[in-house]
Structure 1
Amino acid sequence: MPSLILAIILAAVYALLRRRDPRMLRNGLVLVAACWFAIVGIVELLAARLPGFEWGVLGVIALTPLAVMVLGGFLVANGVAMLRNEGKSLGNLLSLVAGVAIFALPVMAVLLVLTLKPIAIGLAALLFFLSSYFGVVFVVFLAYAIVYARMKPQTNPDAVVVLGSQIINGSVPPLLRSRLDKALEVYRCASPAPLIIPTGGQGPNESRPEGEAMAEYLISAGAGEADVLAESKAENTAQNLLFAAKLASSHGRSGPLMVVTNNYHVLRAALLSRKLGIDAEVIGSPTALYFLPSAFLREFVAIINEHRVLHALMCLPFVGLTAVLTLTVMSAPL
C-alpha cells in the first residue's frame, strides 16, 4: 500500500506539473517514478493474495539479461539497416554503437573484476553506476518523448512553424515532406488560417535554402501563397524557432505558435522553445520505423550535451562512491 499511495501522490504531482507547463523534462521523471511505484504496489498486492506469484516475478526478473541481449541485437541490426538505407554518418551509427556497447560493457566489467586489482574493480563499479544512471535518464527521456508527442494541441495557432531538415537535389525528401504535410493538416483545420513559416537555411550540401524549397512544396500542395512566409537563414533548431517567432511577430502574428517537426524531435524542440521563452506547442509528424531508434538516440545525446554540466554534477556522487569502494578494497587485509 505505501507504494501505491506514493504512486498516486506522484501522479497528482505529474498532472499539476504538466498542466503548468508540459515542456519540462522533469515531468517525465515524475511520470516514470509514478509508474514504477504503481507497478511495485500492484506486485506487492498480488503477491500477498496469490500464492506463488512472487516466483513468477522472480522468473521475469531472471529473464532481464536475455531481454537486454535481445535489445542489443535489435540495435545492431537497426544500425546496419541505417547504414544501408541512410549512408555512413555519426548520427546513423548511434544505434549500432549502442547495440555493441550493450554486449561489450558487461564483458568489460567482468574482465576488470577478474583482474582482482582494486583500481580495476573500482572502474568496473564506476562503469556499472554510470551505465545505470544514463540508462535511467534515457528511459525518462524516451517515455516522456513518447507521451509529449501524443499530447493533443490546445491552441488555435497564429502561425505554424515547420522546422527544416536537409533537402536533396533542391527538393524535399520524405522525412521533411512528412513535416510539411502535417503543417498543411493544421493549416486546413484552423480558422482563421494561420501563417505557415517553413524555416531553414542553406547547408553545405544543399543547392538552395531549405525554407525556400519547403515553401514551394506547401504552395504546390494547396496552401495560399499569401499564407506562406519562408525563413531561409536559420542554421539550427534554436535559430529556426527564434527567427520564425520574429517573422510571425513582424507580420502581426504575436499569439501562440504551433511548431511542426518529426515525432522523435518533438520533446527537444519543446524544451528548447521553453528555454528561449517562445510561446509554442510542438507536434510531430510520422517517421519511418527503422529510422526511430537512431533518431531517438541522437536526440538523447543532444539533450545530454545541452545539460552536460548538470549531468556531470549528478555523476559526481558515483565517482565519490567508487573512490570510497576502491580505497576500502585497497585497505582490506589480504
Structure 2
Amino acid sequence: MLAYVPAILFFALFSLGVLRDRRRFGNAIHLGLAVTFALLALIGKLGRSHALLGDIAVIALLALPTVGTLVLACFLIANGVKMVRKEGRRPANLLSLLAGLGILAVLGLLIAAVVLRSRTLLVVGGTAVGLVGYVSFLFLCFVGYAFLYGRLPVRRDADYVVVLGSGLIGGTKVPPLLASRLERGRAVYERMAARGTAPLLLTSGGQGPDEQLPESHAMADYLIERGFPADRIVREDRSRTTEENLRYSRAIMEAAKPDYRCVVVTNNYHAFRAALMARKTEVRGHVVGSPTAAYFWPSATIREFAAVFLAHKVVNLGVCLLLVLGGFVTWWNR
C-alpha cells in the first residue's frame, strides 16, 4: 500500500486543484505525476507477486516507448508533409514535421554513440534524451489534461457566450475554423436558452491590417445571416490577440453585469490554453472547444504547448539548463 502513497498524494492535489480552479496547468502536472507513480507502483507489485508478469511489464515499459517513439516520429513527419500541402509553408505549419525530424535526430545520435563507442556522443545523446524526456512528460500532461478539460461539463448557466475570433479569408469572409467556433457558440446559446436562461452572444475580434472590417462584425453577420437573433449579439471589435479578446470582453461583461458568468468558445486544440489565459485575465467562465480538422490538430497542439511551455519559461528553461549542465559535468569528469 505504501508504494501507492505518492500516486494518492498527487491525485489528491489534482482533485483539490480541479475543485478550486479547473484552469491551472498545475492540475495537468499533478495528474501526470499521479499516473506515473501509480504505474510504477503497479509494476513493482506485479514483480513481487508474479515474477513473470513483472518481467513482462518491465519489458513492455522499455519496449513501448522505443516503438512508440518511432511510430510517433513517422506520424509527425507524415502529418507535417500534409500540413505543408494543405496550409502552406508558414513556420507554424512546420512544427509537426520538425518535431518528427528532431525525434529521429536524437535516436540517430544515440545509435551513432553506441556504434562508435564514443563517450562524448553518449553524454550528448543522454543529455538530449533527458531534455526530450522532460519536455515529453510536460507535453503528455498538457495533452492528457486538455483532453479531460474539454470534456468537463459547464457547471452553471451563463450570462454571456464569448466566441473568440481567428482571422478572416480575403479580409471579409469567415473561414471554416472560425465558422466551427460560431456554430459551437450557437449550440451553447441554444442549449441555455432552452433551459430558460438565454445569454448574450459576444463576438470578439478586432480588425487586422489585411482585413476590411473587424472580425467581430463578420462573425455577427455570419450568425445573423443564418437566423441568429441580432438583438442577442454583442460585438467586441478592438482586440488583436487572444489575451486582448479576453480582457476587452471582460470589460464589456463587467460593465453590463459585474457578477457575470460566461462560456468562452474557441477550437478544441486551443481550449486549454485559452482557459489558462482566462484565469490569468480574471475572466469568470469555462472554455469549450469546437471541432477541428484532424490533420490540423497535431501542429496546432504543438504550437499551443510551446506557448504554455514558454509562459513558464523561468522554471522550464531552468530545468533544461540544469540537465545540460549535468551532461557537461558528466563529460568533464570522464
TM-score (norm 2): 0.91
Corresponding position of 2:293: 288
Could you tell which deviates more after superposition, 34-43 or 15-24? 34-43
Instruction: Return the letter of the residue paired with 1:57.
Output: A
- CA-CA distance at 1:125 after TM superposition: 3.4
Corresponding position of 2:263: 258
Instruction: Return the letter of the residue paired with 1:143.
Output: G
- CA-CA distance at 1:157 after TM superposition: 1.1
Q: Deviations over 1:79-128 (max 9, x none)?
A: 1111112222111111111111111122134546748465x554333322
Could you tell which deviates more after superposition, 233-242 or 41-50? 41-50
The yes-or-no answer on 1:186 pairing with 2:191 is no
Q: Deviations over 1:229-272 (max 9, x none)?
A: 11122110000001111112233364122110111111111111
Corresponding position of 1:210: 215
Instruction: Return the letter of the residue paired with 1:44.
Output: G
Corresponding position of 2:319: 314
Rounded Cα–Cα distance in structure 2 between residues aligned with 1:310 and 1:100: 26
Corresponding position of 1:332: none
- CA-CA distance at 1:290 after TM superposition: 1.3
Corresponding position of 1:175: 177
The yes-or-no answer on 1:72 pairing with 2:65 is no
Instruction: Return the letter of the residue paired with 2:35.
Output: C
Corresponding position of 2:331: 326
Corresponding position of 2:59: 59
Which of 252, 267, 276 is equivalent to 2:272? 267
Rounded Cα–Cα distance in structure 2 between residues aligned with 1:6 and 1:304: 25
Instruction: Return the letter of the residue paired with 2:254.
Output: S
* Contact 2:278 2:284 (8 Å CA) reproduced: yes
Corresponding position of 1:95: 96
* Contact 1:121 1:326 (8 Å CA) reproduced: no
* Contact 1:164 1:210 (8 Å CA) reproduced: yes
Instruction: Return the letter of the residue paired with 1:25.
Output: F
Rounded Cα–Cα distance in structure 2 between residues aligned with 1:95 and 1:233: 32
Rounded Cα–Cα distance in structure 1 between residues aligned with 2:19 and 2:82: 40
Corresponding residue SS for 1:198: strand
- CA-CA distance at 1:3 after TM superposition: 2.8
Give the aligned CA root-mean-square deviation in angstroms: 2.0
* Contact 1:159 1:253 (8 Å CA) reproduced: no
- CA-CA distance at 1:162 after TM superposition: 0.6
The yes-or-no answer on 1:2 pairing with 2:7 is no
Corresponding residue SS for 1:278: coil
Aligned-pair identity in percent equals: 37
The yes-or-no answer on 1:227 pairing with 2:227 is no
Rounded Cα–Cα distance in structure 1 between residues aligned with 2:50 and 2:108: 38
Rounded Cα–Cα distance in structure 2 between residues aligned with 1:288 and 1:201: 25
- CA-CA distance at 1:44 after TM superposition: 3.0
Q: Deviations over 1:269-307 (max 9, x none)?
A: 111111112212111111111111111001011112222
Corresponding residue SS for 1:204: coil
* Contact 1:2 1:41 (8 Å CA) reproduced: no
Corresponding residue SS for 1:95: helix
Corresponding residue SS for 1:150: coil
- CA-CA distance at 1:321 after TM superposition: 1.5
In the TM superposition, what are the counterparts of 1:298-313 in structure 2 within 5 Å? Answer: 298-313=303-318
Rounded Cα–Cα distance in structure 2 between residues aligned with 1:209 and 1:3: 57
Instruction: Return the letter of the residue paired with 2:279.
Output: R
- CA-CA distance at 1:312 after TM superposition: 1.7
Rounded Cα–Cα distance in structure 1 between residues aligned with 2:50 and 2:319: 40
Structure 1 gaps of 5+ residues are 330-334
Rounded Cα–Cα distance in structure 1 between residues aligned with 2:20 and 2:256: 29
Corresponding position of 2:282: 277
Aligned residue pairs, count: 328
TM-score (norm 1): 0.91
The yes-or-no answer on 1:132 pairing with 2:133 is yes
Instruction: Return the letter of the residue paired with 2:281.
Output: L
Rounded Cα–Cα distance in structure 2 between residues aligned with 1:39 and 1:323: 32
Corresponding residue SS for 1:258: strand
Rounded Cα–Cα distance in structure 1 between residues aligned with 2:64 and 2:188: 45
- CA-CA distance at 1:46 after TM superposition: 3.3
Instruction: Return the letter of the residue paired with 2:179.
Output: R
Corresponding residue SS for 1:52: helix
Corresponding position of 2:164: 163
Rounded Cα–Cα distance in structure 1 between residues aligned with 2:235 and 2:331: 59
Rounded Cα–Cα distance in structure 2 between residues aligned with 1:208 and 1:97: 35
